[in-house]
Amino acid sequence: LYGITFLIQNQKEAADSIYELYKNKNWESRINELYFFHAILSLRTNWEPNDATWEQAINSGTLRYLDNKELVKKLKEYYFQIKNMKNRENRILTMMDNYFEEYRQNHFVSPSITANKDFAGVLDIINKNTKPKMPVFTANQKILNRDKFDFETYVNQIARLQGTRNQDLNLFIFKAIDMNKELLAMLREESK
């Protein structure tokens, strides 16, 4: 309520200020001020809700104050779809990560550790007995178990998982875009 009152007071002041500016003969030299006051006046008419605003409204239960029940239903469906899409994205990324973890451990991470056994321990660094040594990555040490590493399979798996991810997300994205268009059309109708 305070925010609405503050906005109305500001709009009244802006309208008065514009009136005063136009009364002066040199109003053309004060375009910036006119634009500033116009922005305050047109704030309510040009306002379009963003994702954070609507999510907050859904979570706080503010939507019960809207008269248009169809709009409320569509909004809830839309944001459920967005959350669903984010969850699917995270799930697929986790699956990809889990799949590649074994490759990383066997072929990329282990060699750098085993090849540099003279790393200073944490206590050595704290006690300043020795300076920490940086890992040395030579071409021979980067890939461990070279015979077992099938680069073609590795690349194919990356491509397949990436393709699955894109196809899966596209289904959700197109649905979300369509729902978003519907919502904006309904909101424009509401504001008329």
Q: What percent of the chain has pLDDT over 90?
A: 0
pLDDT > 70: percent of the chain: 44
Q: Is pLDDT at 140 greater than 50 in this prediction?
A: no
What's the average model confidence in pLDDT over 170-181? 72
Q: Is the pLDDT of residue 98 over 60?
A: yes
Task: Give residue 126's Cα distance to chain centre.
Answer: 40
Alpha-helix runs per DSSP H in 24-150: 31-41, 43-46, 51-60, 69-103, 110-114, 122-126, 139-142
Q: Is the pLDDT score of 90 beyond 70?
A: yes
Residue 192 Cα distances to 46, 61, 78, 138, angstroms: 12, 24, 22, 68
Read off the pLDDT of residues 116-135 as tens digits, 9 standing for 90 and up. Answer: 455 445 555 556 655 545 44
CA angle 26, 12, 190 (to 5 degrees): 115
Would you say 179 and 77 are in contact if contact means Cβ atoms under 8 Å apart? yes
State mean pLDDT over 3-31: 68
What is the Cα gyration radius of the chain?
Answer: 30
Looking at residue 108, its pLDDT comes to 56
Q: How far apart are CA 36 and CA 118, in angstroms?
A: 65
| Single-letter amino acid, residue 119 | F
Q: How many residues does the chain have?
A: 192
Distance of CA 177 to the CA centre of its chain: 16
